[in-house]
Amino acid sequence: MITAWSGDTSRLRATVDFVKAQDTAALLPLLLPGLDGPELRTLVERCDFSHAALLVFPGDEAALDAMLRDCGLTADAPPRPSVVVRERLAVRHKRGAAELDVGLLRPKVRCLDGARRTVEVFTLTVPPGSDLGTIATHERERQHEAHVAFEVDVPDPLVLRGLCATFAQYGATPDGGGYNPHENGTVFYFATAAEAKAGYRRVELYVPGDHRDVLTAHLDEHRGRQPADTLLRLLTGAWTTQALAAFAQLEVADAMDRERGVGVAELAQDVGAFAPNLATLLRYLTMLGVVSEDRDGFRLTDLGGLLRADTEGSMRPLALMYGGPFYESFAGLGHTVRTGQVAFEQRFGENHFDHFARDPALAELFDRSMAAGSRMFDPLPAHPVLTSAAEGATVVDIAGGNGELLGRILSAHPRLRGILLERPHTVETARRLLGAAGHSARCGFRAGDFADVPAGGDVYVLSRVLHDWDDDRCREILRHCARAMPDTADLLVVERVLPADGSASLATAWDLHMMCNVGGRERRADHYARLFADAGLTLVGRAPLPLDGSVLHVRGTGPDTGSWS
């Protein structure tokens, strides 16, 4: 028979094992589904996974010591009072706080990554026969106080507000908190979204010092959060898009520094802006973590640095595109849903490919915005189809844009050759960029349409192409590929694939975007498999890529070669 004490020991041992196995970068996306890229890097820079916590109920001090020893833990000091948990228990169980002697221990553990973290052990002594036993039974079952915690490196009010805003952006909601005068620290609790995958439903941000000014707003939101409040926050998403677009249009990031703050007057003069209004914009972007403010003025964060034109992997073109033509056409989303017609075409009088091709500056912006999402491509050159390709094998990139992906493949595999098929104006851009990268001798260029897919290649690539089109056009494109491909050739299709279980994914957001602005769609893997089959091709493997992307391995004939993982 498992006693209550042994049950607490098992829970504590599981917590110790969890702390040993995790690190900040791996744990945050499990707690905040969809968190990736710049936001993840920003959080990792500003807070560290410090501990996991649980509440146990030893019968006396000796029982607590034995429990700790059984789990390989050593308490460096007697338990300190835990004001926050005591108050939460008092409210939850309608008991006087003075009745609840809640202690706090933080024994250290050495983790698999070499770091030393802690297990936060809250203790409520429950002697045999005590009327506190009902509290222990309830809390063991519900695990209200079990949580994981991150300690904030720079306890600055602006940083705290930015962290809280990012947590909220990914589904975490305020769930209380408090100031503990015994250790001069402030605690912010959040409840995670239902999609969280870490096994914990509560997250703590621990901040050294007294930050009750920021905590007040956090607690007010926790107490007063209503559906109307949530909806209002969602409705203001357009403000964020335009704030980032204006920041990019004015080239404010290029006039800022990550190392030192700069005053608003100086910035306004540099970018040609009205200083009071620029200050308002910067305060809003501070809340989003794009910039930070100190005594010297505003400073660019790593997140905001991605909006500089000269940054490797700059996302400035995406800000200009999403805040420009696509923002305008999204105003017609209701028309698209009501009629099935593409809102972009209603707004601009033609499909987006023709519209962009008619304006060289807009066409260049579109190509650069596509390249701005190139982090999706990072693992692709290591795909077995490419690493095992024979000396002199040819990679054909169909509708390959400005050559970003093909350039990465050729750089990773000097023995391979490439051919890029694109529209005439884009081919010239790709020729220039690939030439500057030193690939001219190994790369050919063909101006044309899908009907002009070069025959005789060894590996064919369709990256973010099929989602632009309806099923009939996709079948046509794939049949052109199938006719050009030798029996031994492989086709790699890069797309965002809709999850089969309805879980949160960037693919779901892009499905809405493609419907409204392009007339295309994202699809599930089984949907793609049917399209491939209709063209005489077979899906033989699938592997994940960053930014919720996938690479689908397709062949014309031959046995199933298995998936890449």
- Kindly report, residue by residue over 131-157, the tens digit of the pLDDT: 888 899 889 888 888 999 999 987 888
pLDDT at 159: 86
Maximum C-alpha span of the chain? 84
Please indicate, yes or no, if residue 252 is contained in any of the structural domains.
yes
39 and 173: one domain? Answer: yes
Average the pLDDT over 453-472 and give the result.
Answer: 96
Last residue of a domain, one of 194, 211, 231: 231
Active-site hit among 147, 352, 413, 467: 467
Average the pLDDT over 285-303 and give the result.
Answer: 84
Q: Is the pLDDT of residue 201 over 50?
A: yes
Strand partners, 550: 495, 544
Report the C-alpha gap between 495 and 473 in whole angstroms.
16
Beta strands in 132-236 (DSSP E): 147-152, 173-180, 185-191, 202-208
Higher pLDDT, 369 or 414: 414
pLDDT at 216: 82
Q: Is the pLDDT of residue 461 over 90?
A: yes
Q: Is the pLDDT of residue 4 over 60?
A: no
CA triple 300-260-207, angle to 5 deg: 70
Spatial CA neighbour of 400 closest among 359, 457, 349 = 457
Last residue of a domain, one of 167, 199, 231: 231
Please indicate, yes or no, if residue 382 is contained in any of the structural domains.
yes
Confidence band of 501 (pLDDT split at 50, 70, 90):
confident
Taking phi over 0 as left and psi of -120 to 50 as alpha, with beta for the rest, 316 belongs to alpha
Average the pLDDT over 185-204 and give the result.
Answer: 87
pLDDT at 366: 85
> Domain holding 66: CATH number?
3.10.180.10
200 and 242: one domain? Answer: no
pLDDT at 560: 44
401 and 445: one domain? Answer: yes
Average pLDDT, the chain: 89
Confidence band of 442 (pLDDT split at 50, 70, 90):
very high
Confidence band of 364 (pLDDT split at 50, 70, 90):
confident
Report the C-alpha gap between 362 and 355 in whole angstroms.
8
pLDDT at 107: 94
pLDDT at 515: 95
213 and 252: one domain? Answer: no
Report the C-alpha gap between 298 and 261 in whole angstroms.
5
pLDDT at 101: 84
Here the tokens at position 20 are 């040993």
Q: Are 154 and 117 in contact (CB under 8 A)?
A: no
Report the C-alpha gap between 243 and 247 in whole angstroms.
6
> Domain holding 472: CATH number?
3.40.50.150
90 and 125: one domain? Answer: yes
Q: CA of 265: how far to CAs of 64, 272, 277, 328, 363, in Å?
A: 60, 10, 11, 31, 35
Q: Is the pLDDT of residue 6 over 60?
A: no
Q: Is the pLDDT of residue 336 over 90?
A: yes
What length is written for the chain?
A: 565
Q: Is the pLDDT of residue 486 over 50?
A: yes
pLDDT at 357: 83
Strand partners, 375: none
Least reliable range by pLDDT among 109-118, 341-350, 363-372: 363-372
pLDDT at 563: 42
pLDDT at 399: 94
404 and 290: one domain? Answer: no
pLDDT at 334: 96
172 and 244: one domain? Answer: no
Percent of the chain at pLDDT exceeding 70: 95
Domain count of the fold of the chain: 3
Average the pLDDT over 76-97 and give the result.
Answer: 82
- What φ, ψ does residue 403 adopt, rounded to 5°? 90, 10
Strands 443-447 and 80-81 come out as unpaired
Least reliable range by pLDDT among 329-338, 427-436, 554-563: 554-563
> Domain holding 289: CATH number?
1.10.10.10
Please indicate, yes or no, if residue 338 is contained in any of the structural domains.
no
Let me know if 218 is a catalytic residue: no
Q: Is the pLDDT of residue 564 over 60?
A: no
Residue with structure tokens 């046995």? 559
Q: Is the pLDDT of residue 448 over 90?
A: yes
Report residue 114 CA to chain centroid gap. 26
Confidence band of 558 (pLDDT split at 50, 70, 90):
very low
> 206-209 contacts: CB < 8 A, separation 24 or more?
206/50, 206/149, 206/150, 206/151, 206/152, 207/151, 207/152, 207/155, 207/160, 208/151, 208/152, 208/155, 208/184, 209/155, 209/184, 209/185
pLDDT at 129: 83
Please indicate, yes or no, if residue 22 is contained in any of the structural domains.
yes
Least reliable range by pLDDT among 180-184, 337-341, 484-488: 180-184
286 and 426: one domain? Answer: no
Spatial CA neighbour of 558 closest among 484, 479, 486, 477 = 486
Domain that holds residue 305: 236-323
Last residue of a domain, one of 323, 347, 363: 323
Please indicate, yes or no, if residue 346 is contained in any of the structural domains.
no
Average the pLDDT over 526-532 and give the result.
Answer: 97
172 and 24: one domain? Answer: yes
17 and 161: one domain? Answer: yes
Q: Are 37 and 169 in contact (CB under 8 A)?
A: no
Q: Is the pLDDT of residue 565 over 70?
A: no
Report the C-alpha gap between 198 and 159 in whole angstroms.
25
Average the pLDDT over 357-380 and give the result.
Answer: 83
Please indicate, yes or no, if residue 366 is contained in any of the structural domains.
no
Confidence band of 222 (pLDDT split at 50, 70, 90):
low
Spatial CA neighbour of 139 closest among 53, 51, 68, 16 = 53
Q: Is the pLDDT of residue 2 over 50?
A: no
Report the C-alpha gap between 211 and 185 in whole angstroms.
8
pLDDT at 97: 75
186 and 211: one domain? Answer: yes
Taking phi over 0 as left and psi of -120 to 50 as alpha, with beta for the rest, 494 belongs to beta
Average the pLDDT over 329-344 and give the result.
Answer: 95
Average the pLDDT over 393-400 and give the result.
Answer: 96
Higher pLDDT, 4 or 357: 357
Report the C-alpha gap between 301 and 292 in whole angstroms.
7
Please indicate, yes or no, if residue 173 is contained in any of the structural domains.
yes
To the nearest 10°, report the CA torsion of 161, 163, 164, 168. Answer: 140
Average the pLDDT over 466-490 and give the result.
Answer: 96
Please indicate, yes or no, if residue 560 is contained in any of the structural domains.
no
180 and 249: one domain? Answer: no
Confidence band of 557 (pLDDT split at 50, 70, 90):
low
Q: Is the pLDDT of residue 3 over 70?
A: no
pLDDT at 335: 95
pLDDT at 206: 92
Q: Which range has highest mean pLDDT (16-30, 199-213, 548-562)?
A: 16-30
